Amino acid sequence: MLQFLQISLLFIFPAVVLGLNSDGLSLLALKAAIETDPSGGFNGYIPSELGHLDSLKRLNLASNNFSKPIPARLFNATSLIALDLSRNSLSGPVPAQIGALKDLRHLDLSSNLLNGSLPESLTELDSLVGTLNLSYNIFSGGVPASYGRLPVLVSLDLRHNNLTGKLPQVGSLVNQGPTAFSGNPSLCGFPLEIPCGSSEPIEKRSRGSPKPCRPEPHFAQWG
Ligand X SMILES: *[C@@H]1O[C@H](CO)[C@@H](O)[C@H](O)[C@H]1NC(C)=O
Residues that bind ligand X (CB under 6 A): 37, 41, 43, 51, 65, 67, 72-73, 76, 86-87, 89, 91-92, 97, 110-111, 115-116, 131, 133, 135-136, 138, 140, 157, 162, 164
At 95, give phi and psi (nearest 5°).
Answer: -60, 140
- To ligand X, the closest distance from the beta carbon of 25 in angstroms equals 14
- To ligand X, the closest distance from the beta carbon of 107 in angstroms equals 11
Cα first-last separation, the chain: 72
Cα distance between residue 143 and residue 163, in whole Å: 7
Of 26 and 76, which CB lies nearer to ligand X in the complex structure? 76
Non-local (6+) Cβ contacts of 44 within 8 A are 33, 34, 35, 66, 67
Spatial contact of 29 and 81, defined as CB atoms under 8 Å apart? no
Report the amino acid identity of residue 82.
A
The residue number with the shortest CB distance to ligand X is 110
Measure Cα distances from 77 to 130, 158, 176, 221 in Å: 21, 25, 30, 56
- To ligand X, the closest distance from the beta carbon of 40 in angstroms equals 9
- To ligand X, the closest distance from the beta carbon of 74 in angstroms equals 9
Of 37 and 126, which CB lies nearer to ligand X in the complex structure? 37
Of 72 and 82, which CB lies nearer to ligand X in the complex structure? 72
Of 39 and 221, which CB lies nearer to ligand X in the complex structure? 39
- To ligand X, the closest distance from the beta carbon of 78 in angstroms equals 8
